[in-house]
Amino acid sequence: MAEITEDCPECPTGIPAWMATFADLMSLLMCFFVLLLSFSEMDVLKYKQLSGSMRDAFGVQRQINVKDVPKGTSVIAQEFSPGRPEPTPISEVRQATVDDTQSSLDIGERTPQEPKPDQKLDQKSDIKVTVDEELAKQLLVEKLQTLIKATEDDARNLASALKKEISSGKVDVETRGRRIIIRVREQGSFPSGSAELRRQFRPVMAMVRNVLKTVPGKVSVEGHTDSIPISTSVFRSNWDLSSARALSVAHELFSGDTLDHNRFMVTGFADTKPIAANDNEENRARNRRVEIVIHQGLDDETSEELKKMQQIDPGLIREFNLDSTFILTPDEVF
């Protein structure tokens, strides 16, 4: 059979038409990536932080000398020394984790160190001190709560004895921490601008005197006025008036000589401690008052504990409304 030969068509001169388009496209792409590279900036710190975090996540965190080191250049290969650790059979699976929320990354080589014996002792000692402080605070808080409850019970008994006077609006009774406040209003007790106690108010003072015999604590008699200035031949200012009214109440309590005078302190505050704004007659009448404050205080042991605890928690006195003036005064029963 004769061979059939086909004539090869003559190749056209020059490169194919698509080759020029392809070359142009490649050139444009290369220029594009060169421009991108020229615009980019290498942040060395971020690069090192990234490499450090990848090392913590994937690598062996201590150097292990091995014979076969993989070739190539990569972030992981540059930052870690991969090895083939020998298997150690254990009865449980343990996984070491690294806190990745720490404020700063350790970029350099990290070599775990076992705490020294002295450091371990210091850490245990610090933990023990913290636990002891919390326990002491809890015990002190419970003791203060018990003492304040006792003060509230005394105030209830006092309010029960003065129920008639409280209902008529002549006196008020309230507690603040370890203090019982018997508030004598001006209405019915003193004439306007005078420090002479009304005769009809003396039975009320007799009731208060009988109650004070059984309630423990130091007693301060405090006079208060409103903000309207006074200047008479008897009282040059509100200081004189408030002090004179407090002294009149104290003298009435001392009548009969049944109370120990050493328990008492008499003070005039003028208009420096209002309980209401002096903006109308009703509020000014509330500010004109004499307060008999029973400071039951704390015993010596509790006072010393509180004094030490203030260095750790300075807010305890505020939290329990304790009077810092009488904080070291022990309970006294007269």
State pTM to two decimals.
0.56
Comparing C-alpha atoms, which of 201, 219, 228, 200 is closest to residue 288?
A: 228
pLDDT at 10: 73
pLDDT at 269: 96
Give tens-digit pLDDT for 114-156: 555 555 555 555 555 566 778 888 888 888 889 899 999 999 9
CB 326 within 8 A of CB 295: yes
- The answer on pLDDT for 289 being more than 60 is yes
H or E element: which one contains 289?
strand 289-295
Confidence of residue 297 (pLDDT cuts 50, 70, 90): confident
Strand, coil or helix: what is 132? helix
Q: How far apart are CA 326 and CA 217, in angstroms?
A: 10
Domains of the chain, by residue range, sit at 17-85+98-110, 131-326
Domain 131-326: CATH superfamily, name plus number: OmpA-like domain (3.30.1330.60)
